[in-house]
Amino acid sequence: MKTTFSVPERNQVSEANQTIFDTLQKSLGFVPNLYASFASSDHALSAFLNAQGAKTSLTGKEKEIVNLIVSQVNNCVYCLSAHTKFAKMNGFTDEQILEIRSGAASFDPKYDALVKLAKSIAENKGHASPEAIDAFTDQGYSTGSIIDVIMLAGLRIITNYVYAMTNPTVDFPSVPEL
């Protein structure tokens, strides 16, 4: 393969992306390599961050559940590493994170239904099983929340695919394989 990808440095990206890099540096203390990879495009990083920051019916913990299970389905080491850190920041234990990654959340029936729905969506390319959908709504989630799960799963698939294509160095703490 002739085409290879390298993580662009600040001076190699557009002025708009340089501004985003500066904001990320201030808020996170660094520019994650995956975000820098998005900046190879003049528009993708901004579009992605805007979509990721959009309002949703899901809580921070619920978003990390979706992020973890979709990244596990897609075997994205980068996203699993990043979202393990964020899941811990949202109050999940190491054991709970591993269980979520394995496709369950026995510690909370509502979270369990969410894990199973997000996993079914990711594994079946949007065609979630009727059982997963019913279990999700039986836990009090709305049809609007189903759309929010799909939206978040789609965003995670984007990052999973950008990682798969560009293969940047993982700059988050490593996580164990299941």
User: Tens digits of per-residue pLDDT, 22-68?
Assistant: 999 999 999 999 999 999 999 999 999 999 999 999 999 999 999 99
Residues 37, 40: Cα–Cα separation, whole Å: 6
Q: Are 98 and 82 in contact (CB under 8 A)?
A: no
Q: Which pLDDT score is estimated for 3?
A: 81
Look up residue 78 and give its two tokens.
Answer: 């980068």
46 and 76 both lie in a single domain: no
Residue 66: inside a domain, yes or no?
Answer: yes
Average pLDDT over residues 101-124: 98
Query: Do both 17 and 76 map to the same domain?
Result: no
Do 157 and 117 share a domain, yes or no?
yes
Classify residue 81: in a domain, yes or no. yes
For residue range 113-170, list pLDDT tens digits in order: 999 999 999 999 999 999 999 999 999 999 999 999 999 999 999 999 999 999 999 9
Closest CA to 173 of 87, 99, 107, 112: 87
Q: Which domain does 88 fall in, by range?
A: 60-165
We report the CATH number of the domain holding residue 82 as 1.20.1290.10
Total number of domains constituting the chain = 2
Residues 81 and 161 in one domain: yes
